[in-house]
Amino acid sequence: MTPIRTVTTVCVALTLLATSTGIAAANPDPHREAVQRQVSAAVASGAAGMQVRVTRDGREFTARAGVAQLGTQRPVPLDGRFRVGSITKTFVTVVTLQLTAEGKLGLDEPVSRYLPGLLPDGERITVRNLLQHTSGLHNYTDDLPQDPKEFMARRFEHRSALELVRAAAAKPLLFPVGTKHSYSNTNFLVAQLLIEKLTGRSWTAAVNQRILQPLRLRDTEAPGDNPFIHGPHARGYLMVEGKPADVSALNPSAAGAAGAMISTTADLDRFLRALLAGRLLAPAQQAELTKLTAVSPDYGLGIQPVPTSCGITVWGHGGGIPGYLSIMLGSADGSRRLEGSVTTGTALDPQLMRKTVDTAVCG
């Protein structure tokens, strides 16, 4: 549930942790080989395992490196499932903007209009402020267990979005509403409560009905309190007292609409293609998605631009949740895309991650 500035360095490593899996050695592909070199370097830097999907101008390949489970030789499953962390925010933003197009929600309306009494500053904080991270709301995840041992002991506890928001909102704003950008997961728990209020159903049901079913994303889910990743997947790890501890199973309710979803690179790619092509949003809302401002020059609404060395800007999001880092990025025309997941082992070199994205996009 971390911002892409952090994740772009680490998650981006996702895109490179690739071991060729589809082009014969007799027909070398310089682009793929370059990605492979970066991926191998990222794994050597400390990742337990990695999978990546890269598309450029109609040509696609998948790659992997490392192992699915430490202590074994099992390879990371091709297109295995993983926790996507803050990529969840892009799904939630789409639902929110769809509600805007339907006239059920106003981007520049105060949160208090829909959720009266929830936020002390709800009359000043707008829906746009939430999706843009310019609300000034305290980041609730800063108050969750930070010590690895404590996290391991409490990782199956249920967390209520309403209680988490109330606790965060009780703290002073970090800055006057709309004057700065500061990444806060609390914004998207408020968006979760908005969706549930306006649709009369859970945010997970809304995402399922409006995105997952129409796009046939059968390997994507928002699991609620279910702690398990079903289907093929690589194990995720957290360093506890200097040793990797398996954190694949955890209650994702604490992440909620800020980062609870599970997906695959194939499903994320299908979602990203539809989003970039304007198939999920009306034109007015599509324009709002990527609108940058002086206050928030590096983050639109639930999506972020990432520059590359070849001058191509890719849009998307990164994600981080204990055990997993993820990335989903694509050029505005959709011709260059990458999605990936890395399961953390030890520390990763941030520069290797940056180079991964750059290599995947620019070759």
Count other C-beta atoms under 10 Å from residue 112's C-beta.
17
Single out the residue of 323, 305, 298 nearest to residue 85, CA to CA.
323
Active-site positions?
86
Single out the residue of 69, 5, 60, 44 nearest to residue 266, CA to CA.
60
Residue 138 near residue 119, CB atoms below 8 Å: no
Sheet of strand 59-66, all strands in order from the earlier edge strand to the far edge = 59-66, 47-56, 336-344, 324-331, 314-321, 304-306
Torsions phi, psi of 258, nearest 5? Answer: -90, -15
What is the Cα–Cα distance from 346 to 18, expressed in whole angstroms? 18
Calculate the dihedral angle through the C-alpha atoms of 295, 300, 302, 305, rounding to the nearest 10 degrees: -120
Structure tokens belonging to residue 36? 């492979």
DSSP string, 195-220: HHHHHSS-HHHHHIIIIIHHHT-TT-
140, 143, 244, 284, 346 from 153: Cα distances, Å? 19, 16, 15, 46, 20
Residue 1 near residue 159, CB atoms below 8 Å: no
120, 168, 207 from 171: Cα distances, Å? 10, 6, 30
Cβ-proximal residues to 197 (8 Å cutoff; 6+ apart), any chain: 114, 115
Q: Percentage helix, strand, coil, to 5, in the chain?
A: 40, 20, 45
Token match 């360095």: residue?
9
